[in-house]
Amino acid sequence: MEGLRSRAGARGSRQRGQPSAAARLALLSALLTCCFRCAGGAKPSNVVLIVADDQDVQLGGLTPMKKTRTLIGDAGATFANAFTVTPLCCPSRSSILTGRYPHNHEVRNNSLTGNCSSPQWQKGPEAEAFIVYLSKQKYQTFFAGKYLNQYGRKDAGDVGHVPPGWDQWHALVGNSQYYNYTLSVNGKEEKHGDSYEKDYLTDLITNRSLHFLDDRSPQHPFFLMLSPPAPHSPWTAAPQYQNQFSDVKAPRDGSFDKPGKDKHWLLRQPVNPMSNSSITFLDNAYRKRWQTLLSVDDMVETLVKKLDSIKELDNTYIFYTSDNGYHTGQFSLPIDKRQLYDFDIRIPLMVRGPGIKPNQTLQAPVLNIDLASTILDISGVNLSSVNVDGQSFLSQMAPSLRNGTTRPFFLVEYTGEGNPTTDPTCPKLGPGLSQCFPDCVCEDAYNNTYACVRTLDGKQNLQYCEFADNESFVEVYDLAPDPHQLENIVKKVDPTVLQVMNQRLIKLQSCGGDSCRNIK
């Protein structure tokens, strides 16, 4: 009788112009499957990821980017506590691509021997980068700009090596340049000179992304990764911006030119106070960095206008971030990154897109290893099928689309680089150091190898770091009362707190996949 009543009801519904129960169920299933992926259209959402090079957020690095802050930040979510898991270009970019901590993708530094774009990287982690999964989801994929520092070397596949998953490939050979560089264009060498109109790399990246958008198939979603050189050295601004910010100097507050008291050896070696020549050098670098970023600001504006003109803006997530932060004079270190302090590990992160309400500032910590998970989440990939250490933060910026949790603590790790022989310009310093400029102030060393656990949960803001050096040095900071990390409180902290942090650090240093997200 139940079956008869159901069929009768179905006939009655159809007679009244209503869909059948089966049709309603099918429609509901389709809607659930589509979820946010169909927001703004019948196909999954598009994604654009812009990764600046060495752009800090702690020292005013976003100040010159008024258009970007308006078009992405004000139009979506700004993350107040975004961090890199390692403050150096190649290992950080490898973490972005794979969603893994450095101890899992095994890229230690910017050298080929440190696994940067090495054959080992290419056979392993690169073949499992998130772009491979997007390609399987029928995304049309485009890359332009800096990839990895050793990309394109003859002993690492040369320019003919195009990583899997990319449909269009316009990758810089080697480290950041603005002129006089070589690109791999879909595996073919393309040399560039010093003509602003033809060669300025930031603008070239922008223009080629526009061509890709013009030539794409409207039937499938797209993913663009744009990786401009700015604000990395050699800090070559576009001609129209070379006179901007003439009165700007590096900020003098916080830890600027403070002695590295109670810090690891590398922070105890700079001369304090800094020499006038070092201060002049870092002020010039600070100003030129801002000048180069104005072209990146133009890139964002041009891209947003293009997406709007082709009616894809409302169905596109745009991420803006950097591979690591930067310092200019903090603890008397003139210029670089590689340190465990907030000026080097905090990064800008802004996102706009379907389901993200405007003008949000989000406080929960997110990491650059979370970008892969978040982008795959947007594309509809089942995250349980992917080997990543990070987690999607889609639920934070678009809670109407996803439920999720935030992490209470996380890992930052770095393997120091040094030269086995003494720097001839700094003979008194001995071997094992690197990046000794200006004035023989070294920014890195073999014993600048550390791992930190950071607890940031609204109640605590603690950082605990252990060094793999001959002192087994430990640094601990309570950033709530000491945001500039001026005082190492390792001798003042309750030993039980140190023990808890040490145990968390041990677990994080050996974690992988789920275990990186579920440590108590």
| Active site amino acids | 89
496: left (phi over 0), alpha (psi -120 to 50) or beta: alpha
Alpha helices in 99-129, H assignment, sequence order: 102-105, 119-123
Rounded Cα distance, 96 and 114, in Å? 17
Nearest to 464 by CA among 447, 486, 481, 479: 479
Rg (C-alpha) for the chain, rounded Å, is: 24
Q: Burial code of 457-475, b = ≥16 C-beta within 10 A, e = fewer? A: eeeebbbbbbbebeeebbb
Rounded Cα distance, 114 and 382, in Å? 32
Instruction: Find the distance separating the first CA and the last CA of the chain, reported in whole Å.
Output: 55
Rounded Cα distance, 120 and 404, in Å? 34
Q: Is the peptide bond before 163 cis (omega within 30 degrees of 0)?
A: no
Strand partners, 416: none
Distance of CA 155 to the CA centre of its chain: 27
The strand pair at 82-83 and 140-146 is best described as unpaired
Tell the residue number behind the tokens 């060495």, with chain if given.
Answer: 54
Q: Which residues have CB under 8 Å from 51's CB, separation 6+?
A: 93, 96, 145, 225, 226, 227, 321, 322, 323
